[in-house]
Amino acid sequence: MVIGASIGGLCAAKVLAEFADRVTVFERDDLPAEPASRAATPQDRHVHLLMARGAEELESLFPGLLADMVADGVPILENRPDCIHFGAAGHVLGTQHRLQDEFTAYVPSRPHLEWQIRSRVTALPNVTVQQRGVDEPVFDGHRVTGVRTADGEVVDADLVIDATGRGTRLPAWLPQWGFERPREDSVAVGIGYATHRLTIPEDLVREKVVVAGASREQPLGLGMLYYEDDVWTMTTFGVGKVPPPEDFAGMQALAEELLPAHLSAAVQQAQPVGEVAVHKYPASRWRRFDELDRFPPGILPFGDAVVSFNPTFGQGMTMTSLQAGHLRRALQGPPDELATTFLTATNKTTWPVWTMNAIGDLILHRAEGPMPWWYRPVGSLFDQFLGAAESDPVLAEWFLRRFSLLDSLYMVPSAKLVGRTVRHNMRLWMQERRSRSRRSPGTAGSAPARSA
């Protein structure tokens, strides 16, 4: 049984269907027959980036998904030089070259992706999706044996997956059942989102993905994605409780400030479609179920119910799709090790991504939360790396692949790449110094603008 039929619940249901005779998914929201926003997933109005790794994982879970999305008009980014504008932490990456390694990304809107996946899950012969809310799991003093639905029925299940999102009540139910409440790691990022859909005259923009992340100096950022319906979605956001503009004129003004001239000019000529949607995301949250000595048999938390990542990094759906693989491996093992195997594997994939996000948020995004001493030096090294990646395509490509969660979830460059970064920045520093001394011969020894 699965509670919640969003991206997490649907991925979990697909895996369960490989092992169980019967899978029931309960969803309290109305589920539209076509791709459309839903009341219970307000985030689906805002820019959702599907990382290249997420696309790979979802394809292996739902074979044929990517081809069907492309057939339905979802833009596909092959390793072309002109499809991405990517700014991160105050640096614009040098992605204007052809990437060396194969790199394919897909740009479905969130409602389209969920609809594609839902259509596949509902077509499975042993899965039923019921539009019914769940009040709470039923605990018999030893294990979870099913759920009580909002209309009062008790439905039995061998295993209940809690995919109710970041608002899960499992941390409160555990102590009621005699277990410890899990510790919660939290980074108070104080993010505000404001989103408009736009039409932009054809041929003004070749890019399909435009990202201008927030930085230490600039707490506002912007993302623009071109989706399958030929409409752009533009999300402006603020970190550290700085509100983004919430009207179209304000968004256009921000685009002018953050984007290169050709993209900003296109936004000035855009026509807004519909109303502005706003959303507040106070904090990233990681519930440490993995640390509990005892966990009740018969239930597992899944997706955002375990960990919800800063949405401006675009990782949530991809990290959820990785949990699907962990669930499959856990179900293949001994039943009494199910929770430990799943939660340990989820911890292992969450840690590197959570930690890198926390470093970025605490150092660059005015976030509040515990900060170990080593975050600051790692953050400074990364700033150096991104500075070099502005003009070194090899570094830019390495960053883009890791950012897309390909290759490895660890954002740790090899010693060779660190050496390359230092040499590159030294070269830039020398060039800058030479050109300064040519411009004003008397100031040749003055302080460098960029430290190496």
Binding residues for ligand FAD, per CB under 6 A? 3-9, 26-29, 40-41, 43, 46-49, 133-134, 163-165, 193, 279, 281, 303-305, 311, 314-318, 320
C-beta of 166 vs 181, nearer to ligand FAD: 166
C-beta of 46 vs 196, nearer to ligand FAD: 46
Shortest separation between residue 280's beta carbon and ligand FAD, angstroms: 9
First and final CA of the chain: distance in angstroms? 56
Shortest separation between residue 445's beta carbon and ligand FAD, angstroms: 47
User: Exposure of 7 by Cβ count < 10 A (0-12 exposed, 13-18 middle, 19+ buried)?
Assistant: buried
Six-digit token pair at 409?
Answer: 């979830």
Backbone angles phi, psi at 234, to 5 degrees: -115, 120
Six-digit token pair at 196?
Answer: 């408009």
Shortest separation between residue 37's beta carbon and ligand FAD, angstroms: 12
C-beta of 314 vs 393, nearer to ligand FAD: 314
Q: What torsion, rounded to 10 degrees, do the Cα atoms 61, 66, 69, 73 define? A: 170
Backbone angles phi, psi at 155, to 5 degrees: -120, 125
Shortest separation between residue 119's beta carbon and ligand FAD, angstroms: 16
C-beta of 41 vs 119, nearer to ligand FAD: 41
Helix axes 261-268, 248-258, angle to 10 degrees: 170
Shortest separation between residue 450's beta carbon and ligand FAD, angstroms: 31
Q: Which of 312, 310, 390, 378 is nearest to 350 (CA)?
A: 310
* Sole residue written with tokens 């019967």: 22
Shortest separation between residue 273's beta carbon and ligand FAD, angstroms: 19
C-beta of 3 vs 386, nearer to ligand FAD: 3
Shortest separation between residue 385's beta carbon and ligand FAD, angstroms: 23
C-beta of 145 vs 195, nearer to ligand FAD: 195
Shortest separation between residue 314's beta carbon and ligand FAD, angstroms: 4
Q: Which of 156, 122, 125 is nearest to 27 (CA)?
A: 122
Six-digit token pair at 170?
Answer: 């499992």
C-beta of 169 vs 328, nearer to ligand FAD: 169
C-beta of 133 vs 369, nearer to ligand FAD: 133
Q: Which of 39, 43, 16, 13 is nearest to 25 (CA)?
A: 13
Q: Would you say 112 and 74 are in contact if contact means Cβ atoms under 8 Å apart?
A: yes
Q: Would you say 160 and 147 are in contact if contact means Cβ atoms under 8 Å apart?
A: yes
Please give the Cα distance from 77 to 83 (Å, whole number).
Answer: 7
Please tell me whether residue 384 adopts helix, strand or coil conformation.
helix
Shortest separation between residue 148's beta carbon and ligand FAD, angstroms: 10
Q: Would you say 369 and 188 are in contact if contact means Cβ atoms under 8 Å apart?
A: yes
Shortest separation between residue 259's beta carbon and ligand FAD, angstroms: 19
Amino acid at position 25, single letter: V
Please give the Cα distance from 302 to 77 (Å, whole number).
Answer: 30
Q: Would you say 179 and 295 are in contact if contact means Cβ atoms under 8 Å apart?
A: yes
Six-digit token pair at 190?
Answer: 């104080």
Contacts of 372 (CB under 8 A, 6+ apart): none
C-beta of 43 vs 252, nearer to ligand FAD: 43
Shortest separation between residue 157's beta carbon and ligand FAD, angstroms: 14
- β-sheet with 307-308: strand ranges across: 184-187, 284-287, 307-308
C-beta of 146 vs 387, nearer to ligand FAD: 146
Query: Which residues partner with 136 through β-bridges?
Result: 148
C-beta of 262 vs 280, nearer to ligand FAD: 280
Angle, CA of 82, 85 and 89, to the nearest 5°: 150
